[in-house]
């Protein structure tokens, strides 16, 4: 879909002119279209600072990703010694250093008191301007709810406000900032999320706190090339837009996809199937017997990944909404997800170490005018994943939701011009996302390396100004 401000941003003279009159000119985002690689941060300099409890794990994860590592502060001694031990160059950054860096990684897991918050200022204040276009900032902290100390809890929660604000300040560069809440004992699950959040694959995730837990055991070894090789995935609503993008990327990383959509969309689905060699499954998810039919189709071989993408909007203000519109939104977006998942679990069709990913929406978090039905259904998805995650964790299964913001699809293309422009600009990155952004996040959450994330809602919204 055409975004005229992105076009202007590609032309330096026009960019300067438009910026001079106060209009936001978005930075075109760097995205990765090639398959996953062993060293996704090769050639990218990451500057590390902070005070934390597991510098050795952090260093090993960065070395494994191929990053060029520069370090300052309390981690310097451990990083320099560790780098020398494995013959990986680590540079100690001197005070007053200049030059652009791709990413900054700050470890705040050692924070205990409000005085520790000064370390955020001391690290970022002299360096924030050095973050490059489409760069990455990742901050690590401990979950506030894990402590019984009032000041420590307040200090840890303060980090979140800091990260959200930094994300807004660097968004004009197409750069992002995110926070990983690392539960004690979950450090071993850090590598996958760190690789993802530091890479171009997380281009449209900004200002988000993401909990990392030890509820689900991390499988070993963790493959970072073709991570879904040998896996079978069910994707609902696979014929178009986001569903087609998800099917394509899961296939790219080695999965065989069962691509489900309505019988009315058989021709469109056939095009996706031809490109991805997926197995088509024609089924209306809202049909009374849908859960039984889907379970029957999957029973023989089982399934490793379930992606609930099918959904509808039936927008009306509440006063003007027909009951039919209400029931369709709730039935397709929420009830069908619950029924199908429950049936697959009851049949033991979802394999050990399986992954369930549901599409929610920013509307389910913030609400939206004229979408009481849609917002209710998508908020229900959040409640569903939060509750189900604990019930299936012992089988190594993770359950998460993705909450897209303004994504450029055929549905948003039909929105009136001015409304569409406002929707695009109401985020840190001042532009809409792409189906590819959602598909990249689904692929990550479906991977073995995402075992530390469960019961969570990942907003893929460019740092939307709507909601918390």
Terminal C-alpha separation, the chain:
28
Q: Which of 102, 181, 204, 374 is catalytic?
A: 374
- Yes or no: say if 51 and 108 are a contact pair by the CB < 8 Å rule: yes
Closest by CA position to 444, among listed 242, 194, 258: 194
Checking DSSP bridges between strand 176-182 and strand 256-261, what pairing results, if any?
Answer: unpaired
Checking DSSP bridges between strand 256-261 and strand 279-282, what pairing results, if any?
Answer: parallel
Closest by CA position to 182, among listed 80, 45, 58: 58
> Cβ contacts of residue 29 below 8 Å, gap of 6+?
134, 174, 200, 203, 204, 429, 431
Burial of 129 per CB tally in 10 Å (0-12, 13-18, 19+) = exposed
Q: Bridge partners of 212?
A: 182
424 token code pair: 């695009």
Among this protein's residues, is 374 annotated catalytic? yes
Q: Check whether the bond before 221 is cis (ω within 30° of 0).
A: yes
Query: Active-site residue numbers?
Result: 374
């Amino acid at each position: 879909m055409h975004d005229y401000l992105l076009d202007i941003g590609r032309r330096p003279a026009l960019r300067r002119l438009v910026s001079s009159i106060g209009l936001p000119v978005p930075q075109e985002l760097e995205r990765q279209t090639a398959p996953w690689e062993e060293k996704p941060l090769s050639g990218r300099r990451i500057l590390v600072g902070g005070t934390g409890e597991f510098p050795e794990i952090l260093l090993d994860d960065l070395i494994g990703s191929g990053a060029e590592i520069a370090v300052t502060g309390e981690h310097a001694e451990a990083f320099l010694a560790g780098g020398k031990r494995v013959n990986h160059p680590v540079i100690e950054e001197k005070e007053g250093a200049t030059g652009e860096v791709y990413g900054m990684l700050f470890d705040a897991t050692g924070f205990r008191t409000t005085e520790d918050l000064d370390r955020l200022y001391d690290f970022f204040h002299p360096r924030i301007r050095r973050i490059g276009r489409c760069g990455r900032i990742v901050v690590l902290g401990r979950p506030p709810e894990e402590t019984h100390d009032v000041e420590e809890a307040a200090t840890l929660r303060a980090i979140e406000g800091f990260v959200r604000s930094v994300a807004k300040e660097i968004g004009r560069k197409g750069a992002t900032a995110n926070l990983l809440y690392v539960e004690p004992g979950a450090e071993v699950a850090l590598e996958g999320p760190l690789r993802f959040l530091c890479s171009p694959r997380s281009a449209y995730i900004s200002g988000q706190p993401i909990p990392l837990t030890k509820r689900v055991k991390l499988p070993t070894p963790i493959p970072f090339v073709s991570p879904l090789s040998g896996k079978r995935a069910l994707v609902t609503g696979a014929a178009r837009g986001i569903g087609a993008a998800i099917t394509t990327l899961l296939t790219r990383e080695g999965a065989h996809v069962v691509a489900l959509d309505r019988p009315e969309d058989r021709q469109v689905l056939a095009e996706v199937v031809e490109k991805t060699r997926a197995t088509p499954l024609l089924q209306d998810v809202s049909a009374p017997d849908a859960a039984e039919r889907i379970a029957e189709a999957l029973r023989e071989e089982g399934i490793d990944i379930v992606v609930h993408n099918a959904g509808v909007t039936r927008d009306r203000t509440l006063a003007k909404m027909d009951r039919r519109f209400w029931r369709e939104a709730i039935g397709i977006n929420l009830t069908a997800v619950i029924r199908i998942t429950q049936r697959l679990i009851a049949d033991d069709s979802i394999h050990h170490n399986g992954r369930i990913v549901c599409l929610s929406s920013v509307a389910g978090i913030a609400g939206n005018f004229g979408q009481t039905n849609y917002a209710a259904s998508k908020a229900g998805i959040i409640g569903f994943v939060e509750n189900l995650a604990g019930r299936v964790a012992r089988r190594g299964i993770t359950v998460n939701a993705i909450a897209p913001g303004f994504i450029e699809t055929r549905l948003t293309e039909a929105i009136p011009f001015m409304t569409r422009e406002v929707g695009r600009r109401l985020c840190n990155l001042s532009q809409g996302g792409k189906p590819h952004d959602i598909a990249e996040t689904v692929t990550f959450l479906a991977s073995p390396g995402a075992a530390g994330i469960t019961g969570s809602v990942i907003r893929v919204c460019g740092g939307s100004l709507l909601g918390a």
